[in-house]
Structure 1
Amino acid sequence: MNIIVITGGSRGIGAATAQLCARRGMGVILTYTSNAQAAESVVAGIHADGGKAVALELDVSDIKSFGAFTDAVRAELQSIWQKTSLSGLVNNAGHGLFNPIETVSEAQFDGLLNVHLKGPFFLTQALLPLMEEGASIVNLTSATTRVATAGVAPYAASKGALDVLTRYMAKEFGEHRIRANAVSPGAIRTELGGGLNDEFEALLASQTALGRVGEPDDVARVIATLLSEDSGWINGQSIDVSGGYIL
């Protein structure tokens, strides 16, 4: 059985990915920052469908905690699945900020950079010894790196850096047959940045070629495919999953 780690797996795209991957026969270790109840609800749903999953607390911005987290992952691998290695990592955890450049504080900027770039960099580094040959890494970036949308500059900049990092991961990990790809969602119906009101959703739908905003499952299906052997020859790519947002 393939076992994967999904950060930020208690809601939105992360939760949808955890559920779909479990339905496709993968074991899931999902993380949450503060909402243990939501995370356990996702785990319970997976168990009810006959899958196996566990939720572990992790603040992706707290680099010092990664050693203990890696030890916890190793312990869960052994106790639940009797395995010693991981088949995949989805760097999904994050948060949004919608402020014009002139109002962004240094603390806000650092918070975004820590969660969206520094965290994935060092978490991947920490978990790399557990990654088996043929494993897959998927980094969640954003369509805001492709188009300039006022108010999301620091968020988009950190995601753009993660996009570049993805290619370097693919290059450096290739000798171990570990793939790395990025998934770049467009407008998705999640709680990121406070969610969507009707007016904002209508605007985003009008800017999307397929005429609607995306659902978490739209992105989860692409992530799950990248984690599978079906995508074994896809490496170092950024895949736009936006329904044609601002083409």
Structure 2
Amino acid sequence: MERKIALVTGGSRGLGRDIAINLAKKGLDVIITYNSNNKAAEEVILEIIKLGQKCKAFQLDTTCVSTFDAFFENVTSYLKNNYGNPNFDYLINNAGTGLYVPFMETTEKQFDEMCNIHLKGVYFLTQRAVPFMNNEGGIINISSGLARFTLPKSSAYAAMKGGIDVFTRYVAKELAHKKIRANSVAPGAIATDFGGGENKTNEQKRQLISAATALGRVGEPEDIGAIVAFLCTDDAKWINGQRIEASGGVFL
């Protein structure tokens, strides 16, 4: 059986790490990107090799569109050398950072940073990726529960994630000729180092989220990775253009 290959941005830590490992558990080979933490990326590679799959890490700053062409030159060279062709099957746009600042105090610089990593970077990385994606592959964009409900201090971040949900629907429509599916997965509050680790360390916020969540707790990375991996299988072949919220039922 031909190996399927997934590219996960920000795959060295947090949600991205769990996504990459769950993809490997589904029998996919994985390419991950990291921004600065090469050591964490190497640890993910070792975990995936233990699962019997191939994994390769590449450095990428997903805010820097001017580097995307060179990035894909490196990726496709690796693919040609190891698989005989430059193509892959799934793109998971996961890389991101958080921002917790009131709307009235958000600066243009902060807004631009959120746009560059969560919207502009995703838009143009996807555009560069599509020529190398096999027909009947898929794109999964990581959105946020904050695009549906509101919590103070997240207006800039959440606005970009709302844009991602709309972008996902357009991609699903415009790439239909290649039978490439596009969906967004919207986590609720997840206990990672994201955004300074607020959802791990801010006990007041954790209690608020837990009380407002039907399943009664803050999410963990392992609550999300298997959902993304499922979308990268034939079992999910009829799911397209959807926003799938994985939040344990927060603010229902």
TM-score range, shorter chain: over 0.9
Pair 1:44 & 2:46 matched: yes
Larger deviation: 131-140 or 209-218?
209-218
CA distance in 1 between partners of 2:117 and 2:99 (Å): 12
Shift of 1:77: 1.1
Q: Which residue of the other structure, out of 95, 98, 103, is the alignment partner of 2:97?
A: 95
Alignment-derived partner of residue 125 in structure 1: 127
TM-score (norm 2): 0.96
Shift of 1:80: 2.7
TM-score (norm 1): 0.98
Shift of 1:214: 1.1
CA distance in 1 between partners of 2:91 and 2:221 (Å): 18
Alignment-derived partner of residue 201 in structure 1: 206
Q: Which residue of the other structure, out of 188, 204, 209, is the alignment partner of 2:190?
A: 188
Q: Which residue of the other structure, out of 58, 69, 72, is the alignment partner of 1:70?
A: 72
Aligned residue type for 1:219: I
Pair 1:111 & 2:113 matched: yes
Any stretches of 5+ residues in structure 1 without a counterpart? none
Pair 1:216 & 2:221 matched: yes
Aligned residue type for 1:227: C
Q: Which residue of the other structure, out of 14, 30, 33, is the alignment partner of 2:32?
A: 30
Alignment-derived partner of residue 229 in structure 1: 234
Runs of 4+ with >2 A deviation: 79-84
User: Percent identity among equivalent residues?
Assistant: 44
CA distance in 2 between partners of 1:79 and 1:26 (Å): 18
Aligned residue type for 1:233: W
Cα deviations by residue, 1:191-217 (Å, 9 ceiling, x for unpaired): 111112233222211111000111111
Shift of 1:49: 2.5
Shift of 1:175: 1.0
Any stretches of 5+ residues in structure 2 without a counterpart? none
CA distance in 1 between partners of 2:150 and 2:220 (Å): 22
CA distance in 1 between partners of 2:238 and 2:204 (Å): 41
CA distance in 2 between partners of 1:23 and 1:110 (Å): 36
Give the alignment's Cα RMSD to 1 decimal. Answer: 0.9
